[in-house]
Amino acid sequence: MLAAATLMAGMIAGGALPFAATAAASCSTCARAFDGASYTGTEKDFSQGVGNADLSTISFDNKISSIEQTLAVGHGFIWWTDADYQGSSFKACATAAYPSLGSPYNNALSSVEATLSCPD
């Protein structure tokens, strides 16, 4: 399991974790969120530049356990624990992979915001 400290250290340093090859073939410019660890279970795609202020509108709030994304340089997503881009958050820039979200993010994300401030 990816510890929260490791997850946050990667975001603060602007580094990306190893990326799963499966996303590049099927999701060329998006983030893909899964309700299971290691990219398993139900998935939802988020197009580059398009966020969602309330994941409950697509029945996916408090369900995300893993994320993989392939975005253009400079693009990213900020993942929030509360709707309307509130609560705790972490930023994932360009190509990133999180096979297992740690606390406080696992099964706790409720909104995703597109950003052009990567890295900041």
61: DSSP letter? T
Structural domain containing residue 19: 4-115
Where is pLDDT greater, at 56 or 73?
Answer: 56
The tally of domains found in the chain comes to 1
> pTM for this structure?
0.75
Query: In the predicted model, what is the mean pLDDT of residues 47-71?
Result: 93
Strand partners, 78: 91, 113
Where is pLDDT greater, at 28 or 56?
Answer: 56
Q: Could you read off the pLDDT of 8-53 as tens digits, one per residue?
A: 333 333 333 333 333 333 566 789 999 999 999 999 999 888 989 9
- Helices assigned H by DSSP within 1-120: 4-13, 21-26
In a domain, 120, yes or no: no
CATH number of the domain bearing residue 87: 2.60.20.10
pLDDT of residue 3: 37
**pLDDT exceeds 60 at position 120:** no
> What is the Cα 19 distance to its own chain's centre?
12
∠ at Cα 51 (95, 88), nearest 5°? 80
**Structure-token pair, residue 11:** 């975001």
In a domain, 47, yes or no: yes
Q: What distance in Å separates the CA atoms of residue 74 and residue 67, rounded to the nearest whole number?
A: 18
In a domain, 82, yes or no: yes
> What is the Cα 62 distance to its own chain's centre?
13
Q: Could you read off the pLDDT of 67-110 as tens digits, one per residue?
A: 999 888 888 999 999 999 999 999 999 888 999 999 999 999 99
Q: What distance in Å separates the CA atoms of residue 113 and residue 10, rounded to the nearest whole number?
A: 19
